[in-house]
Structure 1
Amino acid sequence: MEKIAIKKIRNGNISEAIESAIELIGGLERFISQGDKVLIKPNLTTDKSHEFGVTTNPNVVEAIVYLARRAGAKDIVIGEGTMVGLNTADVFEALGYCDLAKRIGVSLVDLNTDEMKVVKIPNPRVIDSIHVPKTYLQSDVVVNVPLLKTHICAVATLSLKNMKGVIPQSDKRRLHALGVNDGIVDINKVLKQHLIIVDGVRGQEGLGPISGTPVDMNLIIAGTNPVSVDAVCAKIMDINPRNVLHIRGAAEAGLGTLDLRRMRICGEKIADVKRKFIKPPRQLRGVFDGIEPYVDGSACSGCVGAIGVALARMRDAGELRMIAEKFGKISLVAGHNTPTSVDRKNFCVTIGNCQAKQKGQLHIPDCPPSGFSIRDRIRNLLGLESLY
């Protein structure tokens, strides 16, 4: 029976909660032995601070480093490959991980640019092979440190989804184009994790994974099986794990169980810590002033996610207000199909290679284009210089 630990952080003592959670699932010696090389994989998908519930809290990672070192780990590496359009080294610096690494004596590795080995995926749903970083392959222990977050393309991003950060940006693009939920199932067939420590200090609801609303939970969730851990986390977020396609798909593929009756929940009770997280809007209609998005149905998760990232950052910077003042509205169109309902009276922007042959005043190519390139091209319409 799979053990999952839920611990409340008391008096701000993150390290104590992590150690207690690990003890409840068998103790640190179950996972780390003398001389082991340990890879810690946080969620650092972008350069936005943990204070917004976007990225893994560095205090959680630091506590894990000290516990791993105490257990005898010889070499500890923090590894991440950030989202398409960003440089991992810049993200490490912006989030304070460079200072952290120097202070506590660990290495940082950009998993996007590491030396790679092609690994075939058995019984693939959509992707039959991926490039896997040398750092991952040479690690004795992989500690996955995701957050409690909603996700515009996947409903929730937890431990299964966080493993997408292991593969390079070229494979991330393929994953989105072929189907992100089935792709997450595929990569988790070969990307194994030995210990999962979910950073539930501050999560995010709504327009996740980057532009939602922070949610203070003050929790640590620990386990070893990503399907079971994600099922418990989804329940804590008041989300049915069967409605999260990649969690359900991973269970169907035999990667773990999402049936709580087949788990032993240790520590806090789910009922005592759960909170209803606001789910992300899938179609983006009516979310952003000045923008009429047409991403219904045929747009892949890559384009939908990139558009969401771009528009949220533009909203926060006051740029959508400028669009409304200059154009009234802009129509954004993405996907294989162009809806007949597209308002052609608006200035029309087509996004992604699927829309390359469609009529629009501005086309933003790539598969998918990054949210940063979308923002820059629309900023240019306003006479503003590119930021990225």
Structure 2
Amino acid sequence: MSFVIDPPLLFLSGLVIYFLGQKLEWNRHAKIVVGIAILLTFIAYSALLYADIFRCVFPFFSGMSGSDFMLHTNITGISKADVPSIIVVILFILYPFWIFFGYASALLLSKRRRVSKEKFTYSDVKSKSRSAARPAAYAVARDPDAKKCVRSALDGIGGIGKYVKKGDKVLIKVNICGGVPEIKGTFTSTEVVEELVEELLALEAEITIADADMVWTKFWQAAADSGWKKWAAEKKVKLQNLSESSIAWFDFGKDSAIGLERISRDAIEADVIISVPVMKTHLLTGITIGMKNMYGTIPEIDKARFHRKKIEDVIYEINLAFTPTLTIIDGTIGGEAIGPLSCAPLNYQTVIASNNVVTADAVACQMMGYDPMEIVHLKKAHERGLGDASVKFNLNSLPYKNPSDKDGNWNRPPAEVKDFYEWAIELLLTIPGWETLFNIGADFILYDLARLPVFRYFTPGLLQLLNDAVYLNIKDFRDTEEDRARRKANLIIVTLISIACIAGFVKDGYFWHSNLLFDFSFLAAIIVAVIAAVRMKTRDLCGLLLSSALLSAVVEHTNTSAGLLTYTGSDGISPYIVTGWMIFMLVILQFADLLAKWLKPIGIFAKLQSWNSLPFALVAVLFALFMAWEGYWAFAEMNVIIMYALMAALGFIYSRKHSIEWNMSLLATSVVVGGVMELLGSLAGFWTYHFSEPLTVSIVLSWALNTWAVHGLTYLMRIDLGSHKDRYLYRSLGDGIQKGDVPWFGKRHSHH
């Protein structure tokens, strides 16, 4: 690409990621992965162009060097020698921002389309009449049965019928996006809401259960992961993402901290608002219960900007405008210590119900061990008359003590962590444009930095990498005597091949003028190949090695005979080249396994399963185009064309029988592994290409075709390398492959 063309293309990529993500229902992680993949592709290709490793072969620019194309020297008059390296580095550093700006622009446009021009004020909030001043009442219920707890608490304040009329529109604000699906006590329990819903349905109420997106958590994905989506479908209750609802402007007042802000019409038009927060701690505000839960009704995703406006004032003003008719605090399982996301679940078996959100929070505070007046937004609400936070709750009035002796004794966030968190937020938010960075990392990065020395910050990521790379790949393997014998046999086979490869490396003269980078990469490839081999069944390993040897002999002989490339150590194929193919095919298989295992749960291709040959088709088309642009088709002999046509046929057959995730994994790993190997060998002088460039795009892409062809040939041997379970040592040596289990008989495998 070029420094002129890349920015708009990256911007467009950001737009495409947003709209395609909406169409295919990608979650945040899927969008990030796609964005990073596109970004790395741009950076890698552009960097290789700028380094003059790739030639510029695009139509209309084919006479230019890579660096001249990157700088458009023919137009700007600027050459590579004129540009300081630091400027080039800065230009590449800006690449992530271009793709982010594209995505953010699409998001902004999407939000603006949903915002009505109407402007509402306090007097337009329908639920205000139900939450008008009345004597505060509250009830605390404790029972191991969550539903019984809710019934008892509601009965204690007069029953649901006292606050909800027949046919009312009821908005139940729960906490879904502010929690972690894997950690109970960070999000509202469906059991608590289920009892509430049953009582509301008896009144024929029109129920909407809602929450709003956050930067790091999107509503629908969080609702699915935490079980809310499935539960709502079973109960036939409407689940609403307030960030996607009909949105209008709301005027919080001239002197307010919020001012004019976008608010969901669901909150404005509800007859009754019921806040059902989970009972948990919060690093910044101390607690996050009823009042803080209503802060989540703001549909704005980038909520960090409200921290500039004094978060405690914002919480108060939201509750002043949209005062809950009822607050039902879910303390069945609470979250203590490092809230709101890294809570430790606490089996608290308690539900608090009140017709006043301030009173409800004050009671919950005391049960957690906080003085309500030390919670800033509660104190503000009390002083400004929104509710009574001075109520005293007697812990001895509970029917029984908490089994963990946690009444009035919850673990709080460590003071030093809380102080650092507040300081870091204040510092970050003084920098223009850093709100989004805060939103993404506040509850993760800042906490880690507060607790861990700088170098230990990377420990969680390293442990996760080791877990993914090692534990996940061996935890299901059997370790019988027969399995160990098979691993030993595989180790012997791959060791002999490695020795032959090293011997060929020396014999062909490469060893004597190699460099450390190539040598280390070569040794690393052998190590990875050994790891891959000992995990496989011997039959599958031999099939892969045999196919690799056959294809390497054909491909290398055909390409060298046609003059596409020349080896400096031999006139044609040699043991080093053939065994090198074997090792690299094992390396590609190993990395493809890891990538496929990672890609599947992200769900990027969940809606594209019928397009399983798309990666293969993409590579085939690009390979043909670059062969033409780089000038290789012009002198390629007919046997080269026939060879690649047959390889494409093998690859197509194989790709049709496997999932798009597996095909994409083969594509990515083969292009990266093969491309790196080709570049290092070319720079070391082991081989040269016809036009003497350090690397060609067509050669890099050919490694994907090579890999599919090897897998396709092995597939014809009744060995499916794409079948994870059949390939690995899950079964003992004596287990045979049944007729229905092999691809030859038409069974389609989809383990990847």
After superposition, residues 10-89 of structure 1 pair within 5 angstroms as 12-46=144-178, 48-49=180-181, 51-73=183-205, 75-89=206-220
Residue number among 459, 484, 504 corresponding to 1:321 in the alignment: 459
- TM-score, normalised relative to structure 1: 0.73
C-alpha separation in 2, matches of 1:223 and 1:180: 24
Residue number among 283, 287, 291 corresponding to 1:152 in the alignment: 283
Q: Secondary structure at the match of 2:333?
A: strand
Contact 1:204 1:212 in 2 (8 A): yes
| Bigger fraction of residues in helix | 2
1:188-229 deviations in Å (ceiling 9; x for gaps): 111121111110011111110010211111000000111111
Residue number among 421, 433, 443 corresponding to 1:308 in the alignment: 443
- CA 1:192–1:207 in structure 2 vs 1: closer, same or farther (change >3 Å)? same
1:155-193 deviations in Å (ceiling 9; x for gaps): 100100001111112572331222211211121111121
C-alpha separation in 1, matches of 2:177 and 2:194: 18
Contact 1:51 1:202 in 2 (8 A): no
1:13-49 deviations in Å (ceiling 9; x for gaps): 2222211111111111111211111111111124623
* Residue of structure 2 equivalent to 1:228: 359
Gaps of 5+ in 1: 326-383
- CA 1:205–1:266 in structure 2 vs 1: closer, same or farther (change >3 Å)? closer
- Identical counterparts, % of pairs: 26
After superposition, residues 201-280 of structure 1 pair within 5 angstroms as 201-260=332-391, 268-269=397-398, 274-280=407-413
- How far residue 283 of structure 1 moved from its aligned partner, in angstroms, is 4.8
Question: Which amino acid in the other structure matches residue 320 of structure 1?
Answer: F
C-alpha separation in 2, matches of 1:110 and 1:293: 29
- CA 1:228–1:286 in structure 2 vs 1: closer, same or farther (change >3 Å)? closer
- CA 1:251–1:300 in structure 2 vs 1: closer, same or farther (change >3 Å)? farther
Q: Secondary structure at the match of 2:240?
A: strand
Instruction: Give the structure with higher Rg (CA).
Output: 2
Contact 2:281 2:339 in 1 (8 A): yes
* Residue of structure 2 equivalent to 1:284: 417
C-alpha separation in 1, matches of 2:168 and 2:298: 23
C-alpha separation in 1, matches of 2:237 and 2:151: 20
Matching of residue 187 in structure 1 with residue 318 in structure 2 = yes
Q: Secondary structure at the match of 1:222?
A: strand
1:58-110 deviations in Å (ceiling 9; x for gaps): 1111111111111331x211111132232211111111111111111111111
Contact 1:222 1:229 in 2 (8 A): yes
C-alpha separation in 2, matches of 1:285 and 1:164: 20
Contact 1:50 1:56 in 2 (8 A): no
- How far residue 272 of structure 1 moved from its aligned partner, in angstroms, is 5.4
- How far residue 122 of structure 1 moved from its aligned partner, in angstroms, is 4.0
1:209-261 deviations in Å (ceiling 9; x for gaps): 01021111100000011111111100000101111111111112221111115
* Residue of structure 1 equivalent to 2:52: none
* Residue of structure 2 equivalent to 1:98: 229
Matching of residue 137 in structure 1 with residue 272 in structure 2 = no
- TM-score, normalised relative to structure 2: 0.39
Contact 1:130 1:187 in 2 (8 A): no
Which sits farther off after the overlay, 269-278 or 116-125? 269-278
- How far residue 276 of structure 1 moved from its aligned partner, in angstroms, is 1.1
- How far residue 295 of structure 1 moved from its aligned partner, in angstroms, is 2.1
Contact 1:236 1:275 in 2 (8 A): yes
C-alpha separation in 1, matches of 2:275 and 2:332: 15
* Residue of structure 1 equivalent to 2:636: none
* Residue of structure 1 equivalent to 2:138: 4
- How far residue 322 of structure 1 moved from its aligned partner, in angstroms, is 6.1
C-alpha separation in 2, matches of 1:124 and 1:59: 41
- CA 1:285–1:106 in structure 2 vs 1: closer, same or farther (change >3 Å)? closer
Gaps of 5+ in 2: 1-134, 464-597, 605-752
After superposition, residues 102-121 of structure 1 pair within 5 angstroms as 102-121=233-252
Q: Secondary structure at the match of 1:250?
A: helix
- CA 1:20–1:226 in structure 2 vs 1: closer, same or farther (change >3 Å)? same
Contact 1:121 1:189 in 2 (8 A): no
* Two-structure CA RMSD over aligned residues (Å): 3.6
C-alpha separation in 1, matches of 2:422 and 2:378: 28
Contact 1:38 1:142 in 2 (8 A): yes
C-alpha separation in 2, matches of 1:242 and 1:94: 36
C-alpha separation in 2, matches of 1:18 and 1:260: 21
- How far residue 299 of structure 1 moved from its aligned partner, in angstroms, is 5.0
Matching of residue 178 in structure 1 with residue 178 in structure 2 = no
Question: Which amino acid in the other structure matches residue 252 of structure 2?
Answer: I
- CA 1:3–1:86 in structure 2 vs 1: closer, same or farther (change >3 Å)? same
Contact 1:118 1:130 in 2 (8 A): yes
C-alpha separation in 2, matches of 1:204 and 1:15: 19
- By relative contact order (CA 8 Å, sep 6+), the higher-ranking structure is 1
Q: Secondary structure at the match of 1:45?
A: coil
Q: Secondary structure at the match of 2:171?
A: strand
C-alpha separation in 2, matches of 1:61 and 1:193: 16
- CA 1:265–1:70 in structure 2 vs 1: closer, same or farther (change >3 Å)? farther
C-alpha separation in 1, matches of 2:380 and 2:426: 20
Question: Which amino acid in the other structure matches residue 334 of structure 2?
Answer: G
C-alpha separation in 2, matches of 1:161 and 1:118: 21
| Bigger fraction of residues in strand | 1
1:97-156 deviations in Å (ceiling 9; x for gaps): 111111111111111121112222247452223322111222211111011111011010
1:262-303 deviations in Å (ceiling 9; x for gaps): xx989944995623112223553899xxxx997286455974
* Residue of structure 2 equivalent to 1:331: none
Matching of residue 196 in structure 1 with residue 327 in structure 2 = yes
